[in-house]
Amino acid sequence: MNSRTSSLSSISDLFRPNNPKGLRSRDLSSTRLSALKKEINTDTHLIPLKDLYTLLGTDPVNGLSSQKAQELLDYYGLNTLTPPTHYTVPKLLLKSLCTGFSILIWLGAILCLSAYLIELSTKPDPSTDNLYLGCVLIAVDLICGIFSFFQNYKSSKIMKTFNSMIPMHTTCLRDGILNRNTEVRDLVKGDIIYVEIGDVIPADIRIIESRGFKVDNSSLTGECIAVPRHNTDGSANILESPNVAFFSSLCVEGWAKGVVLFCGDLTALGRVAGLAARLQPAPSPLSREIRRFMRCMSTCALALGIFIASASMILGYPFMQTSIFVIGIVVANIPEGLQPTITASLTLTAKRMVTRNCLVKNLEAIEALGACTTICSDKTGTLTENKMCVRHIWTWNKTYSILDKEFENFLQNDQALNSLKICGALCSNATVVKSGVIRGDASEKAILNFLFNYCDPVTIRKRYPKIVEIPFNSVNKYQISIHLNEEKKTYLLVMKGAPECILSRCVTIAFNNKSISMTEDIKQAVNTTTENLANTGERILAFADCDLDSNEYPLNYPFDTENPNFPVDELRFLGLIGLKDPPREQVRSAIERVRAAGVRVMMVTGDHPATARAVAIEVGIATTPSCHIVTGTELRNMSPDLLYLTLAKHYEIVFARTSPTQKLQIVEACQKQGGVVAVTGDGVNDAPALRRADIGISMGIAGSQVSKQTADIILMDDNFATIVTGIEEGRKIFDNLKKSVCYILISNVPEILPVLMFILFSIPLPLGVMTILCVDLGTDMWPAVSLSHEQAEQDVMARPPRTSDPLVSNRMIRLVYLHLGLIEFAAGMFAYFIVMAEHGFYPSQLFGIRQKWDNVAVTDVEDSLGQEWTYAERKELERACQATYFVAVVVTQMMNCIICKTRYNSIFHVGMKNNVLNIGLIFELILACMVCYIPGVNTFFKTYPLRLRWWFLALPFAALMFIFDEFRKHCIRNHMFGGWFNKFTFY
Amino acid sequence: MADKTKVAEQYYAPPPDLGKWESLRIFLWNSETGQFLGRTGSSWAKILLFYLIFYAILVGFFAAMLTIFYQTLDAKMPKWQMEGSLIGNNPGLGFRPMPDSATVESTLIYYRANDKGSVLKWAQVVDDYLEQYRKKGSGSGEASGAENRVPCSPTSSNLGEKQVCDVPVDEFHPCTSSNQYNYEEAGPCVFLKLNKIFNWIPNAYNTTDGLPEKMPEDLKQHIKLVSGKPEANTVWVSCEGENPADVENIGPVQYIPRRGFPAYYYPFTNKEGYLSPLVAVLFEKPRTGVLINIECRAWAKNINYDRYERRGSVHFELMVDRS
């Protein structure tokens, strides 16, 4: 007792407003998070009420004193949900601006600007090249940074959504005075409050007094069923305890008086909210890989840059020259277009998904869905429709399934069924509103809905007006109403309730047109049927009636419901109705497909094990009746290791009666196994799990606001089958992203190598930094993105989810840097040499010419044919050469794009059906023309209006590239050379 | 479950934790499997062979393409000429001696007149440059084509197929090698040359008609003197101080052997032994101890001038110390 209270006080201390332990705000947030992950551990709902009053220092008659309430309020803070400590906007912006390649680009920009400043201070007429380049680099950085900022900055609306679930005012007893307008945020532990129908419970309360009090706990359990709550002994698990009502639950019937046990963040909902808002979802597999790859690339670029810088410093180059080297190396090494391409590809896929009723909130979730290994699905509302339906009807000797085609015939002919229909229509509190909408309890709604198909319950009700009724309560477990038969002027008693309860009150049973007396055999038969149906997850209701003798009960007989003066025994048993929340259509086939794609599907539900098992079997989550079921209670007693072991041992698992925290535990355990976990859910109780999962999937129609807010993907049609589409698209986009990345990386090679040639062999720079940016962020972009429109090359759903297949594999790096990239480089250098040679500089002349060439003081550099070139003329020639090199890269990249369309198939087999890509190629060409020919643009990018013939220089190399790659793919398909190419270059 | 793990343990033991250096060493050379850097020798050999073949093909293709392309080029003549080429038809000027272009971006000729070493340094630079002009006799090595050189004059008849005009640099007195190009006298010679552009022919100011306004007076006078004569067919040269102070400091200027580049040296057609004509500019008495900005211009009807792009002109600084 003591230890519990102390642990309780320590967690409540954590949520005090004035930062009790002097922790830094981030630390406090994470400490709170770990505290929230633990299950609620309390006994305040178990101890006698008297002890509770003493513990809380309250009094059930007068409530707290205002003074004490104020003290508590000052100490523990308001009864609200505390938002988590987040990065502030500037901090997050700064973080986005300094991730990945950004730091390197900043470095380049700083170098450019400082080089410009040096030039500005030492030379009378400094060239503005460095200034421009610096500005362009800064612009690139800012754009990329702001891009990723907006992607990362999903403002924490989660807490807001939670807070909107809380009422403003409540009725509270303090100093013996009942205040109907107490502000909910002023409530403290120990307050005595009153709630009545329509109220939202303002805190976690223990019921002291109640009448017909029913609450809808759907926000915590996900089950949309009104459950009765009253002052009785609690059960160990506070979430299931019948004497506790929770914060944010809606009171749907009756009223209650209760004492506040927990406030604000410490309530059951507060914990869910705190978890959902504080949990950081694990980075998606894609972003993990991109980050890893970027770190790799940046390290390489930086190492090379530092090496070049120190080497040129040692060799005595001036700072200006060194900075030019380093900027070139850094900019050339970084695939600037990578991040925008991936984002654009994912955005396009997300758009396509919207047309298929799948709203993607977090772009990377699409790809994660493709990589997903486990789906933890909620039951109610996700797999099932969250709507009760009549599935089976039993009358003596016969079970009818309403799905049976001949059911209607049976219904016509069987007299017992008719009685059952009348009974079902009468013994019900559900009301039919105009336009056929039915209001009331879920099962009564289901029965009325069912009856509407075969007869008109409204007319039946008119023929039998209701005289009195005894409503359902959890002690009696039945409901009785007495109706007047207007034709015969007799009274009819109808009764509905739990089968065992009704059966014990019946002496006869309806069989066709007569009644036969109840025997043990019949009772046995009823029990068996009940058991069978219950095992398939159906909720069984039994019906009985009794025609009251008109002599004994004449018209206007005063029926007394408090002390029944009419028979409640010796009734006639009519039959059973089995109700069920039916699985959605297509779920079964969808799960089949998902499982065929190697994805494990588990059910995690707050519902009863039997129902859960039945649904699991019905939808194909469990294929054997003996599937492993873990209940919340078992889970509570499991160590993390045992849970881990259970997950490893059983492939088909159903988790039943789980609490929100346990859902989270299950997700985390799956993730610990290395799985990529998708969680589907629609309730508030799913929010922490949705948030933590790699992919949180919520339902668009039935889903709660909170679940939609926390989810990454929203299924607009609530159709589980859409997930299959999602997985398919996710896998396709991953394959296509590989192609895009490969395409982008290849152009990196002809960017890095010329800079190295420039440094090592002292040739005039073959490709300028501006043109590098032009390729990376200009001409390459559209084709790279358009590769995401490629059709899948093979059946992506026929293979297991990728586990060790990275986005950028060694094989891809090998193919890019050692094969295709080099061909592009050769094409570029060829074009460069040709233009030089046509103007008189033969290749042999170029090596070692750089110092003279770039020296503005030298006005007469001699070429191989004796002509002498001034600085301006040389630089113009250099621009022409760089432009030709650029065009060569563009032309080979166009070919490369065609090559990258397929990883495995021959391009002749696939064809050029991707029109986005075809237009992209044309666009690439037009863009290259614009960069070369528009005056002003070409001076900015340091290109040159080229002669037509120079556009064709790269063509032979493009052809070589194509032939090589077709050969390579041919070898891969046929596994030639002992699978050499498969092992080495099949990415 | 416990049983299962036991069974598994019999077959599988996790690899012992070797530590960083040990695992690196094994990565470098794994004596058990004979793996070097994670691959066996035969695997490395295969890789080597593959890349050898692949790169051989690539290099071969590259070379073949270059060779094929070279068939379309003339070994003696640029494919693109004059306006067709990026070099244009507007030659720039060059000067000698230049500071070492490999290390500094400077056009300053600075020396101390009474420092022998300093004088010799600059004289050596000019000597090196004029080396090609002095080569006589039958060609061997770099001086090949020297036998084609014949003395030319404005009146001499057309040259033969292979003949080129000689530039008699040893007759540029006092700007001769033996005189250390007059550097010791604190009146240094700076050699000017017009950039060679294939097939470029000057359109000289050979009469006083249409002389540009900005042309220095003394040059106009000179042109008036030779107007109409054959020697008027010359690309004229003028050197002036850039700023008013420079104009004062520069002192008298002499042009040796004449005031420009005679037209008979043109066009340059890359004939063997061709020499670019030179003008030695003798600054007789530049003020010592100050830096003088000098701009020399070439004058012809088809030479445009642009100071910023250094068209038709050259800029250098001169500073003579006499301590």
| Least confident stretch, A223-237, A862-876, B95-109 | A223-237
Spatial separation of the C-alpha atoms in residues A892 and A773, rounded to whole Å: 17
Rounded to the nearest 5 percent, the helix, strand and coil shares of chain B are 35, 20, 45
Spatial separation of the C-alpha atoms in residues A874 and A647, rounded to whole Å: 71
Spatial separation of the C-alpha atoms in residues A919 and A487, rounded to whole Å: 80
Count of C-beta atoms within a 10 Å radius of residue A910: 16
Q: Which residues of B touch A871 (CB under 8 A)?
A: 310
At A791-800, the pLDDT tens digits run 888 778 888 8
Do the Cβ atoms of A840 and B78 come within 8 Å? Answer: yes
* pTM, full prediction: 0.83
pLDDT at A159 over 70: yes
What pLDDT score does B10 carry? 45
Spatial separation of the C-alpha atoms in residues A222 and A704, rounded to whole Å: 10
The strand pairing partners of B110, in sequence order, are B319
pLDDT at A66 over 80: yes
Write out residues 167-226 of B within 8 Å (CB-CB) of A. 193, 195-198
What pLDDT score does A725 carry? 86
At A72-114, the pLDDT tens digits run 888 888 888 877 766 677 887 888 888 777 888 888 888 888 8
What pLDDT score does A389 carry? 84
What is the mean predicted confidence (pLDDT) over A287-299? 86
What pLDDT score does A181 carry? 82
Which tokens belong to B56?
């051989």
Do the Cβ atoms of B310 and A871 come within 8 Å? Answer: yes
pLDDT at B188 over 60: yes
* A43 included as an active-site residue: no
Count CA atoms within 13 Å of residue A461 on its CB side. 17
Do the Cβ atoms of B92 and A868 come within 8 Å? Answer: yes
Task: Using CA atoms of A180, A183, A189, A190 in order, give the dihedral in degrees to the nearest 10.
Answer: -20
Report angle CA A81, A83, A88 to the nearest 5 degrees.
170
Work out how many CB contacts closer than 8 A connect A with B.
119
Write out residues 71-90 of B within 8 Å (CB-CB) of A. 73, 76-80, 85-88
Picking from A157, A86, A83, the residue whose alpha carbon sits closest to that of residue A706 is A157
Do the Cβ atoms of A872 and B310 come within 8 Å? Answer: yes
A355 contacts: CB under 8 Å, gap ≥ 6: none
List C-alpha distances in Å: A27 to A8, A22, A32, A85: 20, 10, 8, 9
pLDDT at B33 over 80: no
What is the mean predicted confidence (pLDDT) over A584-605? 88
What pLDDT score does A22 carry? 59
CB-CB: which of A823, A860, A880 is closest to B195? A860
- Cβ(A871)–Cβ(A856) under 8 Å? yes
At A438-475, the pLDDT tens digits run 777 777 888 888 888 777 778 888 888 888 888 776 66
pLDDT at B14 over 60: no
pLDDT at B297 over 80: yes
Work out the percent of chain B whose per-residue pLDDT is above 90.
16
Q: Which residues of A touch B70 (CB under 8 A)?
A: 837
List C-alpha distances in Å: B101 to A13, A389, A856, B108, B151: 76, 93, 9, 11, 33
List C-alpha distances in Å: B66 to A310, A741, A754, A837: 35, 32, 18, 10
Nearest CA in chain A to B317: A857
Picking from A589, A577, A415, the residue whose alpha carbon sits closest to that of residue A512 is A415
* CA-based nearest distance A748→chain B, Å: 19
* CA-based nearest distance A842→chain B, Å: 10
Band (A26; pLDDT cuts 50, 70, 90): low
**What region does A98 belong to: left with phi over 0, alpha with psi -120 to 50, or beta?**
alpha
pLDDT at A123 over 70: yes
Write out residues 19-78 of B within 8 Å (CB-CB) of A. 46, 50-51, 54-55, 58, 61-62, 65-66, 69-70, 73, 76-78
What pLDDT score does A155 carry? 54
Q: Which residues of B touch A859 (CB under 8 A)?
A: 92-95, 195, 310, 314
* CA-based nearest distance B197→chain A, Å: 5
What is the mean predicted confidence (pLDDT) over A574-595? 87
The strand pairing partners of A18, in sequence order, are none
| Least confident stretch, A179-183, B118-122, B249-253 | A179-183
Question: Is A713 strand, coil or helix?
Answer: strand
pLDDT at A929 over 90: yes
Q: Which residues of B touch A876 (CB under 8 A)?
A: 86
Question: Is A293 strand, coil or helix?
Answer: helix
Nearest CA in chain B to A959: B61
Write out residues 94-153 of B within 8 Å (CB-CB) of A. 94-95, 98-99, 101-107
* CA-based nearest distance A952→chain B, Å: 12
Nearest CA in chain B to A860: B94
At A507-549, the pLDDT tens digits run 888 877 778 888 888 888 888 888 888 877 788 888 888 888 8
Task: Using CA atoms of B67, B69, B72, B75 in order, give the dihedral in degrees to the nearest 10.
Answer: -50
What pLDDT score does B13 carry? 53
What pLDDT score does B11 carry? 47
pLDDT at A2 over 50: no
Greatest CA separation found in chain A? 135
What pLDDT score does A12 carry? 67
Do the Cβ atoms of A865 and B77 come within 8 Å? Answer: yes
A572 contacts: CB under 8 Å, gap ≥ 6: A419, A506, A507, A508, A509, A510, A515, A544, A545, A546
Q: How much is the mean pLDDT over chain A? A: 84
Count of C-beta atoms within a 10 Å radius of residue A22: 8
| Least confident stretch, A64-68, A217-221, B172-176 | A217-221
Do the Cβ atoms of B62 and A852 come within 8 Å? Answer: no
pLDDT at A420 over 90: no
What is the mean predicted confidence (pLDDT) over A560-584? 83
Band (A210; pLDDT cuts 50, 70, 90): confident
Q: Which residues of A touch B69 (CB under 8 A)?
A: 834, 837
* CA-based nearest distance A365→chain B, Å: 35
Spatial separation of the C-alpha atoms in residues A900 and A742, rounded to whole Å: 7
Which amino acid appears at position A593 of this protein?
Answer: R
Do the Cβ atoms of A839 and B80 come within 8 Å? Answer: yes
A925 contacts: CB under 8 Å, gap ≥ 6: A890, A894
- Disruptive mutation site among A865, A939, A961 for chain B (greatest number of B CBs within 10 Å): A865
What is the mean predicted confidence (pLDDT) over B169-193? 86
- Disruptive mutation site among B47, B81, B87 for chain A (greatest number of A CBs within 10 Å): B87
| Least confident stretch, A411-420, A552-561, A867-876, B38-47 | A411-420
Band (A1; pLDDT cuts 50, 70, 90): very low
More confident residue, A433 or B193: B193
CB-CB: which of A649, A859, A880 is closest to B92? A859
Picking from B302, B258, B267, B283, the residue whose alpha carbon sits closest to that of residue B167 is B258
pLDDT at A322 over 50: yes
What pLDDT score does A750 carry? 93
Do the Cβ atoms of B106 and A857 come within 8 Å? Answer: yes
Question: Is B243 strand, coil or helix?
Answer: coil
The answer to whether B256 faces chain A, any CB pair under 8 Å, is: no
Spatial separation of the C-alpha atoms in residues A220 and A658, rounded to whole Å: 10
Do the Cβ atoms of B105 and A855 come within 8 Å? Answer: yes
CB-CB: which of B73, B98, B314 is closest to A837? B73
Do the Cβ atoms of A956 and B65 come within 8 Å? Answer: yes
Band (B139; pLDDT cuts 50, 70, 90): very low
What is the mean predicted confidence (pLDDT) over A601-627? 84
Spatial separation of the C-alpha atoms in residues A329 and A934, rounded to whole Å: 28
At A72-82, the pLDDT tens digits run 888 888 888 87
| Least confident stretch, A246-250, B99-103, B128-132 | B99-103
What is the mean predicted confidence (pLDDT) over A598-612? 86
CB-CB: which of B87, B107, B270 is closest to A839? B87
Which uninterrupted H or E stretch holds A399? strand A398-401
Q: Which residues of B touch A873 (CB under 8 A)?
A: 86-88, 92
The strand pairing partners of A399, in sequence order, are A394
A810 contacts: CB under 8 Å, gap ≥ 6: none
What is the mean predicted confidence (pLDDT) over A714-719? 85
pLDDT at B100 over 90: no
The reply to whether omega before B154 is within 30° of 0 (cis) is no
Count of C-beta atoms within a 10 Å radius of residue A849: 18
What pLDDT score does A107 carry? 85
Count of C-beta atoms within a 10 Å radius of residue A57: 13
Do the Cβ atoms of A859 and B93 come within 8 Å? Answer: yes
Spatial separation of the C-alpha atoms in residues B119 and B125, rounded to whole Å: 10
CB-CB: which of B70, B101, B311 is closest to A852? B101
Work out the percent of chain A whose per-residue pLDDT is above 70.
94
Question: Is A50 strand, coil or helix?
Answer: helix
Count of C-beta atoms within a 10 Å radius of residue A127: 11
What pLDDT score does A933 carry? 93
At A727-744, the pLDDT tens digits run 988 899 888 999 999 999
Spatial separation of the C-alpha atoms in residues A316 and A523, rounded to whole Å: 104
Nearest CA in chain B to A828: B62
**What region does A77 belong to: left with phi over 0, alpha with psi -120 to 50, or beta?**
left
What pLDDT score does B7 carry? 42
Which amino acid appears at position A400 of this protein?
Answer: Y
Residue among A191, A199, A204, A378 flagged as catalytic: A378
Do the Cβ atoms of A818 and B78 come within 8 Å? Answer: no
pLDDT at A67 over 90: no
The strand pairing partners of A493, in sequence order, are A482, A546
Count of C-beta atoms within a 10 Å radius of residue A740: 27
CA A655, A661, A664, A670 torsion-angle sign:
negative
What is the mean predicted confidence (pLDDT) over B190-209? 89
* CA-based nearest distance A83→chain B, Å: 44
- Cβ(B88)–Cβ(B204) under 8 Å? no
What pLDDT score does B144 carry? 63
* CA-based nearest distance A123→chain B, Å: 11
Band (A881; pLDDT cuts 50, 70, 90): very high
Q: Which residues of B touch A127 (CB under 8 A)?
A: none
Q: Which residues of B touch A826 (CB under 8 A)?
A: 58, 61-62
Band (A324; pLDDT cuts 50, 70, 90): confident
- Cβ(A364)–Cβ(A339) under 8 Å? no
Spatial separation of the C-alpha atoms in residues A557 and A426, rounded to whole Å: 19
Do the Cβ atoms of B92 and A870 come within 8 Å? Answer: yes
What pLDDT score does A347 carry? 87
What pLDDT score does B2 carry? 44
Which amino acid appears at position A932 of this protein?
Answer: C
pLDDT at B12 over 60: no
List C-alpha distances in Å: B95 to A522, B279, B317: 124, 9, 11
Do the Cβ atoms of B103 and A871 come within 8 Å? Answer: no
Do the Cβ atoms of A872 and B311 come within 8 Å? Answer: yes
Query: CB burial class (10 A; 0-12, 13-18, 19+) of residue A663?
Result: buried
What pLDDT score does A687 carry? 86
Count of C-beta atoms within a 10 Å radius of residue B12: 8
At B67-90, the pLDDT tens digits run 999 888 888 888 888 888 888 888
pLDDT at B54 over 60: yes
Work out the percent of chain B whose per-residue pLDDT is above 70.
90
- Cβ(A544)–Cβ(A576) under 8 Å? no
Spatial separation of the C-alpha atoms in residues A147 and A16, rounded to whole Å: 37
| Least confident stretch, A766-770, A950-954, B153-157 | B153-157
CB-CB: which of A857, A862, A873 is closest to B86? A873
Band (A809; pLDDT cuts 50, 70, 90): confident
pLDDT at A822 over 90: yes
Band (A8; pLDDT cuts 50, 70, 90): very low
Spatial separation of the C-alpha atoms in residues A396 and A574, rounded to whole Å: 8
- Disruptive mutation site among A319, A823, A855 for chain B (greatest number of B CBs within 10 Å): A855
* CA-based nearest distance B26→chain A, Å: 21
DSSP string, A183-227: EGGG--TT-EEEEETTPBP-SEEEEEEEEEEEEE-HHHHS---EE
